């Protein structure tokens, strides 16, 4: 019993860190233009396969269109969704782009490694924040 309580207490900081928003930047200030590139490139984010943004092809429809997302969500909320959207919606059909462990719904080749690095996440967040 005591041991279980200690385990639960040890896990608390992690739980507190999870949630709707990730306030702390993960790398240097994001560059929206670079982020746009990561957003469309197949070998990087390839977000366009699932999301539509006006003027971009392809315009996927697995996820919601992201026009106006920079007005709907704060930078910290955008960061959380790109890093690991399952912290917001546990059953979201979108891969966690910066979570090393427990990845599911991604091709086996991606298992155990992050899909984007921290700077790419910040760049994408800067791009999304500009979609107003």
The CA distance from 6 to 50, in Å, is 42
Tokens of 57: 């092809």
Please identify, using beta-carbon distances, which residue of 1 and 43 lies nearer to ligand HEC. 43
Exactly one of 78, 96, 103, 129 binds ligand HEC (CB under 6 A); that residue is: 78
Q: What residues between 1 and 30 interact with ligand HEC by CB under 6 A?
A: none
Q: What is the DSSP letter of 54?
A: T
* 3-state SS assignment for residue 90: coil
Binding to ligand HEC by CB under 6 A, coded x per residue (else -) over 29-58, reads ----------------xxx-xxx-------
Judge residue 94's burial from the number of C-beta atoms within 10 Å of its C-beta, 0-12 exposed, 13-18 middle, 19 or more buried. middle
Binding site for ligand HEC (CB under 6 A): 45-47, 49-51, 62-64, 66, 69, 72, 78, 81-82, 85, 89, 92-94, 97, 124, 128
């Amino acid at each position: 019993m005591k041991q279980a309580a200690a385990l639960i207490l040890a896990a608390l900081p992690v739980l507190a860190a999870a949630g709707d928003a990730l306030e702390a930047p993960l790398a240097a200030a994001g560059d929206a233009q670079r982020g746009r590139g990561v957003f469309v490139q197949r070998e990087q984010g390839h977000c366009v396969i699932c999301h539509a943004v006006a003027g971009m092809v392809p315009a996927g429809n697995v996820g919601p269109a992201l026009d106006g997302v920079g007005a709907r969500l704060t930078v910290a909320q955008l960061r959380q969704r790109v890093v690991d959207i399952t912290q917001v919606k546990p059953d979201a059909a979108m891969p966690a782009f910066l979570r090393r462990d427990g990845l599911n719904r991604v091709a086996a080749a991606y298992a155990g490694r992050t899909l984007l690095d921290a700077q790419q996440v910040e760049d994408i967040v800067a791009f999304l924040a500009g979609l107003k």
